[in-house]
């Protein structure tokens, strides 16, 4: 939410509060997509955040989260493939799980599909998925996760 970064500290709009107190603390755009999509109720599609709902009401909180999710998705799509790869590597570097394990799991389960905002257009979905799959293939090959005998291979350092 680049437009929100310049808001006055006393701005009490839900989206500004969300940016100031939460999203600005997540260093990667991909991480923001993960966080925001985790707040979406899978049964209703509504976004739920207890703290924002207490201050602004559940409807306003849900609207702000939905808007922020859409904006984070648009920001991710605005990156070129190298920018997306760097952002994804930043996200992965902050995870406790082994990178190779993450990449193998993502290859099998494709959890990144759940990060799409409900308002994403078909062309945006296709672009996101094709870019992400290409990046994951590069990362898997670099880490040895794409090889059938990868358990015995050492991890290769990634260019940073």
Report which of residues 19 and 2 the model is more confident about.
19
Report which of residues 151 and 38 the model is more confident about.
38
**SS3 (DSSP) at 47:** strand
Domain boundaries, the chain: 2-143
- CA dist 122 and 1 (Å) reads 23
Nearest to 35 by CA among 6, 63, 68, 4: 68
Contact 67, 49 (CB under 8 A): no
Tokens of 159: 């260019």
Q: How confident is the model at residue 11 (pLDDT cuts 50, 70, 90)?
A: low
């Amino acid at each position: 939410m680049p437009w929100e970064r310049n808001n006055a500290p006393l701005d009490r709009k839900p989206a500004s509060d969300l940016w100031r107190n939460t999203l600005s603390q997540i260093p990667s755009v991909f991480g923001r997509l993960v966080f925001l999509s985790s707040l979406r109720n899978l049964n209703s599609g509504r976004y739920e955040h207890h703290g924002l709902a207490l201050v602004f009401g559940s409807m306003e909180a849900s609207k702000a989260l939905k808007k922020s999710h859409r904006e984070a998705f648009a920001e991710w799509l605005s990156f070129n493939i190298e920018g997306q790869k760097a952002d994804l590597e930043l996200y992965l570097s902050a995870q406790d799980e082994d990178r190779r394990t993450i990449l193998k799991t993502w290859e099998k389960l494709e959890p990144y599909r759940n990060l799409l905002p409900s308002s994403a257009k078909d062309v945006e979905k296709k672009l996101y998925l094709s870019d992400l799959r290409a990046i994951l293939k590069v990362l898997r090959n670099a880490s040895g996760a794409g090889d059938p005998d990868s358990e015995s291979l050492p991890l290769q350092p990634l260019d940073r």
